[in-house]
């Protein structure tokens, strides 16, 4: 005899039921798709009808929505309790269902049976009759099989058991553990399982995941987003696992978390971003004090290789989209050519290098807040070289002409975002006569890229643009109407980064902006330090 763990579970009839409840109890664990559970369901109902006034006779169902199906199939009126999360099944520690426990004192099991043995169940019915002082149970025992094996309990599923054990031990690690044979190569195994973006991964051992989780005070089991396309639950723990594989340090984790919260918003639309044939991918720009604290690069090679924080933060986001969301090349990712940005693209703005308000301040945050802003970009960084301009408007004009080639020079009035990264030497040129406001630069870009509508017509040089048929219905005045490159100056986003040497700025070309595409999203970083 042993005391059974206490529980409180919801009933399919409404309300909750608690064990122990201060009176005799017969508890049976079952699942809807088990043939032996379906065999004993009428027996349990008969026991309930005979002894329900004197004892709690309950079924604990493991099937979630299937519990109601099980109840209705057999016309059960006895309480059927929901153990869809399997925590109670794990705590009671049995192997097969049906698992039956008779607790005459309401708390301690005197009898424990798994599967179905006719003589044992018949003997139990006799025991209940004698103990509870009730009459004979009306069951045709001879019509029942002598023996039927049970089915493995759901809580023993390897995909679930590690999580249940971790929860019972209050461990922050709940993800399923994968055991690799000693002779297997870990790196090759992760390639074979499809976890990788094509580059080697850092094995996410429990020790490394625990170390990564030290980078945040948030609950490891907190679900921060449902990640498309598979709507996978992006828990802090799962994101930490992908951050380990990407090569992040624990103090990078808050940036990764904030970026994932941002890309999983409806406004950003990560499913559309990753599915378009245009090869769009998130570009992450980090602002605020965290840039310096974690050693992000905002200077020489800011948009390139060589900095661990820049490279691995962006890669962790991509791996999470792949491994949690299920977006993979050849699946929902249908990019025609792809882009190196599919591996990673993250950098910090050199806020101190210009007189401009930093990106996050423009977007409504305080200067001393750490923020990540995500953009959906299809190409970049595309270099814009101007080593000759000395006057601010001249240089601003060059930057505009560099942006006019976005998609095609013929495409104008585009409701598409661009991200212009202005290098320090170009900043100095813009500011040589005093503050050159961002809005002035935006207006200058619109002005130098404005062309008459007739320049957008398809012709023998290029079949792209407005069709001849559409143009035929327009007057000469309409065809002479000036059209800027961007639908709005607000489509031009400006940041500063790069080294002090070199008059080379860069631009990222966006995807469709707005409700039908993707909007830039800024998310405050919950930095614990």
Q: Tokens representing 145? A: 């099989």
How far, in Å, are 172, 176, 209, 232, 338 from residue 206 at the CA level? 10, 11, 5, 21, 33
Cα gap 502→509, rounded to integer Å: 22
Q: At what angle do helices 236-246 and 253-263 cross, to 10 degrees?
A: 120
Local structure of residue 432 (DSSP, 8 states): T
Examine the pLDDT at 173 and tell me if it is beyond 90.
no
Share of the chain above pLDDT 90, in %: 88
Average pLDDT over residues 386-412: 96
Is residue 387 within 8 Å of 284, Cβ to Cβ?
no
Average pLDDT over residues 8-35: 95
Average pLDDT over residues 280-289: 97
Q: Tokens representing 380? A: 């970049």
Cβ of 174: how many Cβ atoms within 10 Å? 18
Task: Return the CATH number of 2-159, one of 3.30.70.1250, 3.40.30.10, 3.10.20.30, 3.10.310.30.
Answer: 3.40.30.10
Average pLDDT over residues 370-384: 96
If you average pLDDT over every residue of the chain, what do you get?
Answer: 94
Cα gap 49→61, rounded to integer Å: 19
3-state SS assignment for residue 212: helix
- 383-396 pLDDT, tens per residue? 999 999 999 999 99
pLDDT attached to residue 243: 98
Q: What is the pTM of this model?
A: 0.75
- 98-107 pLDDT, tens per residue? 999 999 999 9
Cα gap 84→70, rounded to integer Å: 14
Is residue 512 within 8 Å of 415, Cβ to Cβ?
yes
Examine the pLDDT at 160 and tell me if it is beyond 90.
no
- 223-272 pLDDT, tens per residue? 999 999 999 999 999 999 999 999 999 999 999 999 999 999 999 999 99
3-state SS assignment for residue 129: helix
pLDDT grade, residue 188 (50/70/90)?
Answer: very high
Cα gap 461→463, rounded to integer Å: 7
pLDDT grade, residue 1 (50/70/90)?
Answer: low
Least confident stretch, 179-188, 322-331, 475-484, 518-527: 179-188
pLDDT attached to residue 164: 84
pLDDT attached to residue 138: 85
CATH code 3.40.30.10 region(s) in the chain = 2-159
Task: Give the DSSP H or E segment for 51.
Answer: helix 35-51
Please state whether 365 falls in left (phi above 0), alpha (psi between -120 and 50) or beta.
beta
Cα gap 456→167, rounded to integer Å: 62
pLDDT attached to residue 129: 92
pLDDT grade, residue 213 (50/70/90)?
Answer: very high
How far, in Å, are 161, 236, 239, 324 from residue 223 at the CA level? 20, 7, 10, 12
Cβ of 32: how many Cβ atoms within 10 Å? 19
Examine the pLDDT at 155 and tell me if it is beyond 80.
yes
pLDDT attached to residue 246: 98
Examine the pLDDT at 526 and tell me if it is beyond 70.
yes
- 23-77 pLDDT, tens per residue? 999 999 999 999 999 999 999 999 999 999 999 999 999 998 899 999 999 999 9
Q: Is the dihedral of CA 244, 245, 249, 253 positive or negative?
A: negative
Task: Give the DSSP H or E segment for 165.
Answer: helix 158-168
Backbone angles phi, psi at 526, to 5 degrees: -85, 80
């Amino acid at each position: 005899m042993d005391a059974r763990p206490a529980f409180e579970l919801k009933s399919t009839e409404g309300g909750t039921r608690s064990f122990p409840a201060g009176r005799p109890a017969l508890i049976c664990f079952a699942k809807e798709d088990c043939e032996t559970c379906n065999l004993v369901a009428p027996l349990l109902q008969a026991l309930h009808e005979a002894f329900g006034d004197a004892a709690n006779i309950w079924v604990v169902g493991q099937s979630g929505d299937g519990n109601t199906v099980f109840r209705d199939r057999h016309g059960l009126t006895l309480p059927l309790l929901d153990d869809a999360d399997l925590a109670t099944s794990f705590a009671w520690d049995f192997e097969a269902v049906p698992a039956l426990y008779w607790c005459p004192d309401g708390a301690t099991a005197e009898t424990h049976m798994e599967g179905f043995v006719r003589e044992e169940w018949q003997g139990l019915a006799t025991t209940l009759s004698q103990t509870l002082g009730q009459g004979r149970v009306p069951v045709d025992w001879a019509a029942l099989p002598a023996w039927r094996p049970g089915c493995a309990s759901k809580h023993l599923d390897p995909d679930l058991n590690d999580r249940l054990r971790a929860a019972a031990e209050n461990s922050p690690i709940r993800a399923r553990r994968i055991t690799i044979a000693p002779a297997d190569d870990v790196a090759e195994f992760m390639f074979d399982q499809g976890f990788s973006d094509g580059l080697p991964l850092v094995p996410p051992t429990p020790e490394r995941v625990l170390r990564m989780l030290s980078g945040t005070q948030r609950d490891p089991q907190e679900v921060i987003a449902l990640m498309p396309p598979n709507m996978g639950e992006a828990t802090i723990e799962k994101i930490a696992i992908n951050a380990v594989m990407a090569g992040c340090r624990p103090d990078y984790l808050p940036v990764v978390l904030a970026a994932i919260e941002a890309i999983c918003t409806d406004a950003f639309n990560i499913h559309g971003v990753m599915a378009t044939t245009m090869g769009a991918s998130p570009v992450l720009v980090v602002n605020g004090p965290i840039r310096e604290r974690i050693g992000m690069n905002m200077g020489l090679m800011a948009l390139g290789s060589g900095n661990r924080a820049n490279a691995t933060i962006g890669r962790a986001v991509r791996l999470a989209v792949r491994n949690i969301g299920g977006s993979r090349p050849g699946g929902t990712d249908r990019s025609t050519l792809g882009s190196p940005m599919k591996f990673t693209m993250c950098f910090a703005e050199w806020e101190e290098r210009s007189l401009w308000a930093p990106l996050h301040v423009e977007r409504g945050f305080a200067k001393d807040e750490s923020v990540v802003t995500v953009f959906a970009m299809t190409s970049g960084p595309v270099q814009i070289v101007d080593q000759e301009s000395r006057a601010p408007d001249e240089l601003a004009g060059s930057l505009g002409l560099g942006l006019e080639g976005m998609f095609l020079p013929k495409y104008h009035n585009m409701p598409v975002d661009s991200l212009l990264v202005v290098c320090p030497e170009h900043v100095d040129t813009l500011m040589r006569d005093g503050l050159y406001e961002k809005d002035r630069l935006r207006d200058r870009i619109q002005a130098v890229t404005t062309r008459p509508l007739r320049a957008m017509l398809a012709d023998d040089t290029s079949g792209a643009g407005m069709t001849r048929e559409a143009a035929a219905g327009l007057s000469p005045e309409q065809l002479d109407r000036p059209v800027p490159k961007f639908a709005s100056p607000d489509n031009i986003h400006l940041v500063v980064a790069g080294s002090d040497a070199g008059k080379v700025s860069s631009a990222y070309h966006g995807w469709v902006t707005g409700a039908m595409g993707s909007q830039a999203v800024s998310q405050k970083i919950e930095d614990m330090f």
